């Protein structure tokens, strides 16, 4: 830091003289004394442009106190051998409009390519942020202007992450996540701890990702489970339940309660079992059906392995449910086993007899 303090004013003076085409002392002589002198016993009024310059170089925090800003100017002056007021004025001319200087080097939009401080400047060496991109290339602005369908997966994920790190932009972090895990489906089954194995993803960002995924899951579930939707075949059951079951790491057993026209009255989660099995008793299934006066039910559960082939236990549970339904007058239309992108239907395979209705 001391090395940077020693060279700062000298490097800036040289650049200003080069731009002005005359000695800097001539330019400083035009300045009113009030602009070049301030009491050593008190901090000068806050100077936003100077604060911006010194924070970009990395000498202060942008939100530091005025006293710290004043103290730093004193140190810079001492290190460069300049009077405090002159050191401050030289730096001001570098970062704010000044008479005789045709352009500001460290302005709101800095001209880093011409800045002699760039080799030591943290701002120059930072990873560009999304705000450095033109507006028509920023994910949030594009989402609003063109809709979410116009954005790539990494851009959508970058909006969720909101910010990057010193090494990566939010888009860069999003690309790392997708490169590590593959896609949104893969991200959905990862724990917050697993997401944090990607450098730059901390607790907060992992929580943001998990929250966004859960919102998507619940939206799909609410759309699928809308009361009144008619169940026509095994495919419609699969399409109804697959969004909410596909990423479960444990078996979940659901029951769709239907009216006399096979429309969904309500959906019930009967049990959530271990990684390999759900324990289901007919009483738990038909209690809800009787309470809602359901005319029929469809049972659905998932296999976390992704293979929907029914186990011997699945077959036994199905047999017991069908038999109990006959006694209660509530028909078991089907039992669907959901796998990874596929399913097994007991009814389609002839394991459950079709429903018989009275014509009268």
DSSP 267: E
Task: Show the tokens assigned to 351.
Answer: 């394991």
Whole-number pLDDT of residue 327: 92
Distance CA 213, CA 219 (A): 10
Whole-number pLDDT of residue 160: 92
Instruction: Give mean pLDDT in consecutive 10-residue pieces for the chain, a chain of 360 residues.
Output: 82 90 75 46 72 90 82 88 84 88 88 89 75 73 88 90 82 89 85 91 93 83 65 86 80 91 88 70 88 93 91 92 93 93 93 66
Whole-number pLDDT of residue 310: 93
SS3 at position 76: helix
List the Cα angle 173/175/179 in 5-degree steps: 120
Q: In DSSP terms, which residues pair with 336 in a beta bridge? A: 300, 345
Distances from the Cα of 154 to the Cα of 19, 140, 208, angstroms:
43, 12, 15
Burial (CB < 10 A; 0-12, 13-18, 19+), residue 37, is middle
Other CB atoms within 10 Å distance of the CB of residue 77 = 20
Q: Is the dihedral of CA 153, 159, 161, 165 positive or negative?
A: positive
Looking at 1.10.3860, 3.20.20, 1.10.150, 1.10.3470, the CATH number of the domain 130-221 comes to 1.10.150
Distance CA 46, CA 267 (A): 63
Looking at 1.10.3470, 3.50.70, 3.10.20, 1.10.1670, the CATH number of the domain 2-125 comes to 1.10.1670
Whole-number pLDDT of residue 336: 95
Residue 6: name the closest of 103, 94, 76, 84 by CA. 76
Other CB atoms within 10 Å distance of the CB of residue 293 = 11
Length of the chain: 360
Q: What are 23-32's pLDDT values in tens digits?
A: 877 777 655 4
Residue 158: name the closest of 134, 131, 185 by CA. 131
Residue 343: name the closest of 259, 258, 264, 242 by CA. 242
DSSP 202: -
Distance CA 185, CA 196 (A): 17
Inter-residue contact 264 to 228 (CB < 8 Å)? yes
Whole-number pLDDT of residue 359: 46
Every domain of the chain and the residues it spans: 2-125, 130-221, 228-345
Residue 21: name the closest of 100, 125, 128 by CA. 100
CATH class name, domain 228-345: alpha beta
List the Cα angle 217/240/300 in 5-degree steps: 100
pTM: 0.48
Who's near 52: CB < 8 A, 6+ residues apart? 62, 95, 106, 108
């Amino acid at each position: 830091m001391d090395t940077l303090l020693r060279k700062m004013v000298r490097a800036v003076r040289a650049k200003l003289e080069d731009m002005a085409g005359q000695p800097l002392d001539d330019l400083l002589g035009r300045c009113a004394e009030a602009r070049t002198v301030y009491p050593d016993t008190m901090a000068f009024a806050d100077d936003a442009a100077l604060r911006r310059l010194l924070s970009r170089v990395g000498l202060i925090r942008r939100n530091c106190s005025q006293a710290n800003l004043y103290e730093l100017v004193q140190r810079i002056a001492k290190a460069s051998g300049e009077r405090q007021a002159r050191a401050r004025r030289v730096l001001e001319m570098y970062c704010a409009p000044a008479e005789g200087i045709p352009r500001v080097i460290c302005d709101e939009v800095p001209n880093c390519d011409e800045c002699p401080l760039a080799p030591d400047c943290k701002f120059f060496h930072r990873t560009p942020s999304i705000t450095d991109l033109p507006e028509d290339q920023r994910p949030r602005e594009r989402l609003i202007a063109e809709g979410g369908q116009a954005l790539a997966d990494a851009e959508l994920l970058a909006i969720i992450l909101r910010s990057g790190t010193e090494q990566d932009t939010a888009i860069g972090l999003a690309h790392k996540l997708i490169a590590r895990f593959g896609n949104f489906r893969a991200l959905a089954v990862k724990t917050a701890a697993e997401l944090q194995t990607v450098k730059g993803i901390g607790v907060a960002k992992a929580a943001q990702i998990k929250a966004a995924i859960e919102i998507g899951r619940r939206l799909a579930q609410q759309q699928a489970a809308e009361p009144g939707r008619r169940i026509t075949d095994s495919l419609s059951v699969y399409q109804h339940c697959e969004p909410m079951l596909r990423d479960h790491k444990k078996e979940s057993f659901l029951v769709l309660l239907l009216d006399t026209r096979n429309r969904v009255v309500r959906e019930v989660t009967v049990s959530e079992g271990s990684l390999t099995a759900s324990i289901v008793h007919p009483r738990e299934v038909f209690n809800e059906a009787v309470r809602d006066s359901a005319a029929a039910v469809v049972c659905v559960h998932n296999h976390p392995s992704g293979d929907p082939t029914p186990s011997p236990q699945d077959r036994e549970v199905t047999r017991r449910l069908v038999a109990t339904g006959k006694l209660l007058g509530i028909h078991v239309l089907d039992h669907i086993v959901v796998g990874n992108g596929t399913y097994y239907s007991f009814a389609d395979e002839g394991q459950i007899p079709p429903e018989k209705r009275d014509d009268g």
